[in-house]
Amino acid sequence: MSIEAITWALERADIPSPTPPGMPSAPALTVVLLGLANHASRHGADAYPSVRTLAGYARISERQVQRCLKALVALGLISQGDQDRVASVIPREDRRPVLYNLSMKRGGSPSPRNSARGDTRRRRGVTGRDERGDTFVTRTVLEPRDNPAAPSDTTRRAGVPTSEAQKLSPIDHLATECRRAGLTARFDTLPPDKRVLVEQSIRAHGVGALVRVALERHRPWDPARSAAAWIPAWYSLQPPRPQLPPRCGRCDEYGWLPDDDLGRAVRCPCRRTASRDTHPPDREGAPMAA
C-alpha cells in the first residue's frame, strides 16, 4: 500500500464528473483507481491486482471493472507497464493480471503531512518554536508528610518485603508468584465459586505446587487468559501425604512392634493413632474409607 499513490488518486487524479456517455460513473472509476493505488509503489508503478480483487473493492461486477480500466487508460490516468514483472511472479499466463502504472509525476504528489511545521518566526538567526537557552521554571516544593508512601506495584513484583505484601490474600500471593514465573493469566476475573476452589487448592498443596502445575500446562503460543483454565489441573492433584510424628522408639522404621506370642504382626499404637488422626479427607469433606 502506498500513501502517496492513494493521496494522488483522491486529490490529483482528474476524473470528470459527470463522465461522458458510455463511460462508467465517476465513483466507480475512483474506487477502481484507488484499488490500483492500494497495490502500487510510492511512485504509482507496478500495480497488478486481479480483476476479481478490484471488483471486491468497488462492489461491482468484473465486467464493469474491465470497463473502468479501459476508461482510466483513455483518460490518461493509468497505462500498461512491464508485463514481464508479473510473469516472473505468476508463471501461469491464464491467471496473470495486467500490470498498470499510475500517471503520477515524481515529486508532484502532495505530501499528506502539513508543509508548515513548527513556528516559522525566526529568532536570532534560528527557526524554532521556543526561545533557546535557559528558561525560568517555577518549581513547587512538596512539604514532607508523616505518612509513609504506599508501596508501588514494582516494589511488590521485585520481591521487596513490605507490610502491604504481607497482607496479600492467598489468591493474590498465588497471582504474584505466577507473574514472577512468566504466566500472564488474570485472577481478578474469577467468579466467587472459582475463587473458593483455588483457595482450597492453595490450602491443600501450597502456592509452589500450583505454580509448577501451571508452568507444565503453559503454552507460549496460546497462553491462558484466565487462571480458571488451571483449576481442573489443580483440583485433580493428589493431596500431599501427612507428616507422621517421630517414632516412639519401641517400633521399627516401618512402625511395627515385635510379633506377639502367637506370631502375629503388631502395629505400634503411635503409628496407628497418627494415621487415623491425620488421614486426609476426600473432596466432599468426609474422611476417606480405609
- State pLDDT tens for residues 65-92: 999 999 999 999 999 988 888 888 888 8
What is the predicted pLDDT for the residue at 100? 93
Q: Whole-prediction pTM value? A: 0.39
> Is the bond preceding residue 269 a cis peptide, omega within 30 degrees?
no
Q: Does 56 or 105 have the greater pLDDT score?
A: 56
Contacting residues for 27 by C-beta, under 8 A, at least 6 apart: none
Task: Say if residue 114's pLDDT is above 70.
Answer: no
pLDDT digits (tens, 9 = 90+) for 116-175: 455 555 555 544 454 455 555 555 444 444 444 444 444 444 444 545 545 678 889 889
Question: Quick one: pLDDT at residue 238?
Answer: 76
Please, are residues 32 and 102 in contact by the beta-carbon 8 Å criterion? no
For residue 163, count CB atoms less than 10 angstroms from its CB and return exposed for 0-12, middle for 13-18, buried for 19 or more. Answer: exposed
Q: pLDDT higher for 229 or 156?
A: 229
pLDDT digits (tens, 9 = 90+) for 168-209: 788 898 899 998 888 888 888 888 888 888 888 888 888 888
Tell me how far apart the alpha carbons of residues 185 and 100 are, in angstroms, rounded to a whole number. 50
Asked whether the predicted pLDDT for residue 288 surpasses 50, the reply is no
State residue 29's pLDDT score. 94
pLDDT computed for residue 240 by the predictor? 66
User: And the C-alpha cell for 180?
Assistant: 514472577
Average pLDDT, the chain: 76
pLDDT tens track for 274-284: 444 444 444 44
Digit-coded pLDDT (tens) for 5-18: 899 989 889 999 88
* Grid coordinates of 214: 501451571
**For residue 220, pLDDT beyond 80:** yes
Domain 3-102 in CATH 2.60.40? The answer is no
In this prediction, residue 101 has a pLDDT band, given cuts at 50, 70 and 90, of very high
Q: Of 26-40, 56-70, 238-252, where does mean pLDDT reach its minimum?
A: 238-252
Which residues are within 8 A (CB) of 75 and not within 5 positions of it... i.e. 6 or more apart? 14, 15, 16, 29
Choose among 107, 85, 97, 111: nearest CA to 6.
111
- Closest-CA residue to 265 (of 280, 255, 250): 255
Q: What DSSP letter does each residue of the chain carry, written as one string?
A: --HHHHHHHHHT----SSPPTTSPPHHHHHHHHHHHHHHS-TTS--B---HHHHHHHHTS-HHHHHHHHHHHHHTTSEEE--THHHHHH---GGGPPPPEEE-PPTTTSPPSS-S--S---EETTEE-SS--S------PPPPP-SSPPPPPHHHHHTT---HHHHT--HHHHHHHHHHHTT---BSTT--HHHHHHHHHHHHHH-HHHHHHHHHHT--TTS--SBGGGGHHHHHTSPPPPPPPPPP-SSS-TTSEEPP-TTS--EE-HHHHHHHHHSPPB-TTSSBPP-
The grid coordinates of residue 258 equal 515385635
**In this predicted model, what pLDDT tens digit does every residue of 41-62 receive, in sequence order?**
888 899 999 999 999 999 999 9
237 pLDDT above the threshold of 50: yes
- The pLDDT, as a whole number, for residue 75 is 93
Q: Would you list the domain boundaries of the chain?
A: 3-102, 153-235, 246-284
